[in-house]
Chain A
Amino acid sequence: MNKFIRIDMTAMKVTTEEVPEKYAGLGGRALTSNFVANEVKPTCHALGKNNKIIFAPGLLSGTAAPNSGRISVGAKSPLTGGIKESNAGGTFSQKMAKMGIKALVIEGMPADDKYHIIKIDMNGVTIEDAPAEIIGGCGNYKAIEVLSAKYGEKVGIALAGPAGEHRLPSANISFKDPEGNMRSAGRGGLGAVLGSKKVKALVIDETGAVAVPIADPEKFRAASKVFAKALLDHPVAGKGLAAYGTDVLVNILNEAGGLPAKNFTAGRIDHNDNISGETMNATITERGGEGKVSHGCHAGCIIRCSQWYTDKQGKYITSGFEYETIWGLGADAGIKDLDDIAYIDREMDDIGIDSIETAVAVACAMEGGLLPWGDGKAVLEAVKGIAVPTPLGRIIGSGTAVVGKVCGLFRVPVVKDQAIPAYDPRPVKGIGLTYATTPMGADHTAGYCISGNILKVGADIDPLKKDGQIEYSRAMQIGTASVDSTGMCLFVYFGIADNPGGYQALIDMINSQYGISLTATDVDKLGESVLKVERAFNKAAGFTNAHDRLPEFFEYEPCPPHNVVWDFTPEEIDEVYNF
C-alpha cells in the first residue's frame, strides 16, 4: 500500500502522494490516530474546516488472512470532543488495500451546501455531485441501491445517512457489506464529520487492481493456516458467535447481574428470554425464508457472528443485530418484543445513527418523560424523526449526554459524553475502568483484546472486587490498540488469547507480508504508543484526569441484584495509564 490520498473539499482538489515515511509501518487505528494527532488541531471544532477525517485499512487488509477486512475511520469526534477511531466490516477496506491505498484523507469544507460523491477507481479520484434522490432524508438502504446502480453492483460504499447530513453527534458512517446491506463505524459521530465536509458518500471500485503483494507468500500461507485453525478450533467460533451472534451475551450478563436495565437502575431483567441470542436463533430458524443464523460481514470472515433477522413472513428486517443494540432497547429501555427492536435497529441503520448511543439516549429520554417506558412503537416513530429531523429526533440524535441535560437528569450514563454500553461497571468492574480511561469515551471495544499471557491478568479476577482490575483494563486496552491496527476483527481475541500459537501466527502473517521481523514485544509497544498518542491529543484538546471518571451516580446507587457500587478512587483509576 503506497498511496496516500488527500481530498481537499475547500479547493475541490485531489492529491495522491507516496506514503509519508512516518506512517509506513502503520495501519488501521495506529495510522488514523497518529494522523489525527499530527494534523488535526486538538482544539478545533469537530464540524469545522480544521477537522480532517481519515479512512485506513489495516496492515493485513486485502490479504487472505481470515477476518482482516476491518476499515478504521479517524477524526476528532463531535460527540466526545476527543480523538476517535471507529471501525467496521464491509467491503471498503479490502478494496482500498488491493488498490494500494494506505489512506484516504478528507480535509477542508466547501463554501456551498451541495453534497458530493468521492469516486475512487484505478484511474484516480474524482469529486462528483451527489444524485439528488439520495439527499435530504433518503435512507441508507435506498442510497446504496442508487449508488450501486450508478457505479456498479460490486463497488464499495462508505456513506453518511440522514443523521450525518444533519451533522448529529451520534451519526455513524455506514459501509456496504457483501450483500448490499450495512455495517457501521458506529461510535463517536464520524458521520457528522463526513456530512460537515459535504461528502455524502465515498464509492470505491477496485476493478483492475492486482492482489496485495506478499513478501514471503509461502510463510504467509502457513501462518494464515495456523491462525485460521486457532479461530475455528475454538468453541466461540463454532458454538457461540456463529450460532447465537453477540446476543448470546444477554443471558450471560443477565445471570451475572451485569445487564444494565431501566436506565442503569438494575443489573437484571425478567424478560431476558424475549431478547436473548438463543431466542433470536430459534426465531430465525423457525421463520425460515431469508433468515440466516450466521453470516460474515466481510469476505474472509470465518467467525460469522452476524445474522439476517426476519419478519414473521421470513422477509429480511435487519442484519448484524448486535447484543449492545438489543440490550439497549430491550433491557435499558425495556422493550420486550424482539421484532420491535429489529425494526428500530433497521431504522437506525437506515438513518445512519449509532445504535448504542441512540438506545441509551432513548432509555434516558424515557426516564425524562419524553417517551413511555418499553414502548417499541413510540421509539420507532421517535427514531424515524431523526431523519426529518423533528425536535425530538434532533435531541435523541444528539446523544445521551444531551438528552440527560434536556431532561434535567443526574443518572446519565456517559463518559466523555459517550454512552456507556451493555455491561454495568458496578458488578463488572474491569470494564468500568476501561470506560473511564479509554481516550475514546465509554467504549467496551476499547478493552477487548489481550496479547500476553491471559492467566497473568485473568486468573484472579472477581468481577465485583478491585483486585487485578487495573492490570486487566491496561492489558486489554493495549492489546486492543494493537489488534485494531492490523485490520483484524476484535473477535480474533479468543484465538490469540487462549492459544499462544494463534498470536504468533498473527505476527508471522504481518512479518511475511511486509518482509519484516516484528516480535510480540514490538506489537505490544505499538499498542502502547497508539494509546499514548491518543491520550496526548485529548490532553491538548482540554481533557484531564478528571474526565477519566464514571458518572457520580454509580458511586451511590447500588446495582441489584448484587447491590454493589463503583468504588475505585481517582488515584486507582489513574493507575490504568501508568505505563
Chain B
Amino acid sequence: MSEQSRKTIEVRGFLHLDAAFRKKFGTIPLIMDLEEPITGIALAEKLEIPWDEIEVIFVNGFVQELDYVIHPGDRVAFLPPGCPGPYRIALGFYGKNQDNEANFKIKKKE
C-alpha cells in the first residue's frame, strides 16, 4: 500500500448511486481523504446518501453492515436495494442487513 493510499479510501456507488456519484464528483471511484477510521453510516452521511438507499456496503470485497468501521486504504462500495436473484443470500446480505432500514423487506408505502 502506498503512503498516499494509507490516507485515502476508494469509494464506489452502484445502481442509481453510480450516476449520482458521477454527477456530483465527476468520476468513479471517488478517492477520498481519510485520516481516521469512520463507520459506513458516517461515510454515507458525509456523502449525503440516505440510509434507506443502502442495503449493504462492500469493504475490501466483503459484504458488511452499515455501521462497519472503514479504515484508510479500504475499498468501499455502497449498494442500494435492487440486487436481483438469489445472490443477496449467496453473497451474505441476509446476515448483514437485518437491522437496516433498506433490508429488502417490503417497504411500507405512505
Question: Which of chain B's residues have a CB closer than 8 A to the CB of A92?
Answer: none
CB atoms of B87 and A251 under 8 A apart:
no
A212 touches B (CB below 8 Å)? no
Pick the interface stretch among A255-263, A358-366, A368-376, A543-551.
A255-263
CB atoms of B19 and A240 under 8 A apart:
no
Contact pick for A423, options B19, B63, B87, CB 8 Å: B87
Alpha-carbon distance between A273 and B18 when the two chains are bound, in angstroms: 10
B28 touches A (CB below 8 Å)? yes
A458 touches B (CB below 8 Å)? yes
Interface string of A18-31 (1 = CB under 8 A from B): 00000000000000
Contact pick for B61, options A230, A244, A423, A562, CB 8 Å: A562
A457 touches B (CB below 8 Å)? yes
Question: Which of chain A's residues have a CB closer than 8 A to the CB of B24?
Answer: none
- Give the distance to chain A from B73, nearest Cβ to Cβ, in Å: 14
Question: Which of chain A's residues have a CB closer than 8 A to the CB of B37?
Answer: none
- Give the distance to chain B from A481, nearest Cβ to Cβ, in Å: 14
Alpha-carbon distance between A140 and B89 when the two chains are bound, in angstroms: 37
A141 touches B (CB below 8 Å)? no
CB atoms of A248 and B77 under 8 A apart:
no
CB atoms of B14 and A239 under 8 A apart:
no
Task: List which B67-91 residues lie within 8 A (CB) of chain A.
Answer: 77, 79-87, 89-91
Select the residue from A249, A282, A463, A490 with max chain B CB neighbours within 10 A: A463
CB atoms of A235 and B82 under 8 A apart:
yes
Task: List which B50-104 residues lie within 8 A (CB) of chain A.
Answer: 58, 61-63, 77, 79-87, 89-92, 94-95, 98, 102, 104
Question: Which of chain A's residues have a CB closer than 8 A to the CB of B94?
Answer: 454-455, 458-459, 461
Asked, given contacts A234-B106, A255-B77, whether A462 binds B92 with beta carbons under 8 Å apart, the answer is yes
Give the A-B pair count, Cβ closer than 8 A. Answer: 131
CB atoms of B15 and A248 under 8 A apart:
yes
CB atoms of A235 and B92 under 8 A apart:
no
Contact pick for A498, options B12, B79, B104, CB 8 Å: B104
Task: List which A112-151 residues lie within 8 A (CB) of chain B.
Answer: none
Q: B105: nearest residue on chain A (CB-CB)?
A: A498
Alpha-carbon distance between A462 and B19 when the two chains are bound, in angstroms: 30
Alpha-carbon distance between A135 and B92 when the two chains are bound, in angstroms: 49
Question: Which of chain B's residues have a CB closer than 8 A to the CB of A490?
Answer: 85
- Give the distance to chain A from B79, nearest Cβ to Cβ, in Å: 7
CB atoms of B89 and A240 under 8 A apart:
no
- Give the distance to chain A from B6, nearest Cβ to Cβ, in Å: 19
Question: Which of chain B's residues have a CB closer than 8 A to the CB of A494?
Answer: 84, 104
CB atoms of A476 and B86 under 8 A apart:
yes
B46 touches A (CB below 8 Å)? no
CB atoms of B87 and A239 under 8 A apart:
no
A428 touches B (CB below 8 Å)? yes
CB atoms of B86 and A249 under 8 A apart:
no
- Give the distance to chain A from B69, nearest Cβ to Cβ, in Å: 18
CB atoms of B92 and A461 under 8 A apart:
yes
CB atoms of A499 and B58 under 8 A apart:
no
Contact pick for A459, options B61, B95, B106, CB 8 Å: B95
Interface residues on chain A, number (Cβ under 8 Å): 54
- Give the distance to chain B from A242, nearest Cβ to Cβ, in Å: 9
A109 touches B (CB below 8 Å)? no
Interface residues on chain B, number (Cβ under 8 Å): 34
Question: Which of chain B's residues have a CB closer than 8 A to the CB of A455?
Answer: 94
Question: Which of chain B's residues have a CB closer than 8 A to the CB of A458?
Answer: 89, 94-95
Alpha-carbon distance between A455 and B83 when the two chains are bound, in angstroms: 17
A566 touches B (CB below 8 Å)? no
CB atoms of B92 and A236 under 8 A apart:
no
Interface string of A240-283 (1 = CB under 8 A from B): 11011010110111011110000000001000010010100010
Asked, given contacts A233-B107, A240-B15, A498-B105, whether A256 binds B85 with beta carbons under 8 Å apart, the answer is no
CB atoms of B14 and A252 under 8 A apart:
yes
Task: List which A402-434 residues lie within 8 A (CB) of chain B.
Answer: 423, 428, 430-431
Asked, given contacts A236-B82, A246-B84, whether A463 binds B90 with beta carbons under 8 Å apart, the answer is yes
A552 touches B (CB below 8 Å)? no
Contact pick for A472, options B28, B62, B82, B89, CB 8 Å: B89
CB atoms of B91 and A428 under 8 A apart:
yes
Alpha-carbon distance between A454 and B79 when the two chains are bound, in angstroms: 21
CB atoms of A461 and B82 under 8 A apart:
no
CB atoms of B77 and A249 under 8 A apart:
no
Please list the 9 inter-chain residue pairs (A to B) with the smallest Cβ-Cβ separation, ordered nearest first. A240-B82, A235-B81, A278-B18, A239-B82, A458-B89, A458-B94, A257-B61, A255-B58, A430-B90
19 more CB-based (< 8 A) A-B contacts, given A243-B15, A256-B62 = A233-B106, A235-B80, A238-B82, A239-B82, A240-B83, A240-B84, A246-B84, A255-B58, A256-B58, A256-B63, A276-B18, A278-B18, A423-B90, A430-B89, A430-B90, A462-B92, A463-B90, A463-B91, A463-B92
Q: Name B residues whose Cβ lies closer than 8 Å to a Cβ of A.
A: 12, 14-16, 18-19, 28, 58, 61-63, 77, 79-87, 89-92, 94-95, 98, 102, 104-107, 109
Q: Name A residues whose Cβ lies closer than 8 Å to a Cβ of B.
A: 230, 233-236, 238-241, 243-244, 246, 248-249, 251-253, 255-258, 268, 273, 276, 278, 282, 305, 423, 428, 430-431, 447-450, 454-455, 457-463, 472, 476, 490-491, 493-494, 498-499, 561-562
Q: Would you mind naming 15 contact pairs between A and B with Cβ atoms under 8 Å apart?
A: A230-B106, A233-B106, A236-B84, A248-B14, A248-B83, A251-B12, A252-B79, A255-B79, A450-B86, A450-B89, A458-B89, A458-B94, A463-B91, A490-B85, A498-B105
